[in-house]
């Protein structure tokens, strides 16, 4: 099985348009991963300008 550093940070399932739940202490790392060129390259063309936000569940 291939390791996935992003999935290792997920602490719970998402709901609605939520990607998932993460520890507050991991927020900077999660944003860095989601903002990386590699992650953006995986998005469909109509989602290239997506913005990831954090909030309380």
Higher-pLDDT residue of 28 and 56 is 28
Residue 57's pLDDT band (cuts 50, 70, 90): low
Residue 49, pLDDT above cutoff 90: no
Backbone angles phi, psi at 17, to 5 degrees: -95, 15
Q: In the structure encoding, which two tokens stand for residue 28, read together?
A: 């900077």
pLDDT of residue 9: 93
Q: Which of 20, 9, 25 is nearest to 57 (CA)?
A: 20
Write out pLDDT tens, residues 1-43. Answer: 778 898 899 998 888 878 889 999 999 999 999 999 999 899 9
Beta strand extents in the chain (DSSP E only): 12-13, 20-21
Residue 48, pLDDT above cutoff 90: no
């Amino acid at each position: 099985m291939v390791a996935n550093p992003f999935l290792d940070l997920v602490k719970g399932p998402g709901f609605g348009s939520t990607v998932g739940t993460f520890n507050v202490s991991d927020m900077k790392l999660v944003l860095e991963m989601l903002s990386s060129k590699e992650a953006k390259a995986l998005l469909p063309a109509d989602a290239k300008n997506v913005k990831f936000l954090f909030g309380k569940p």
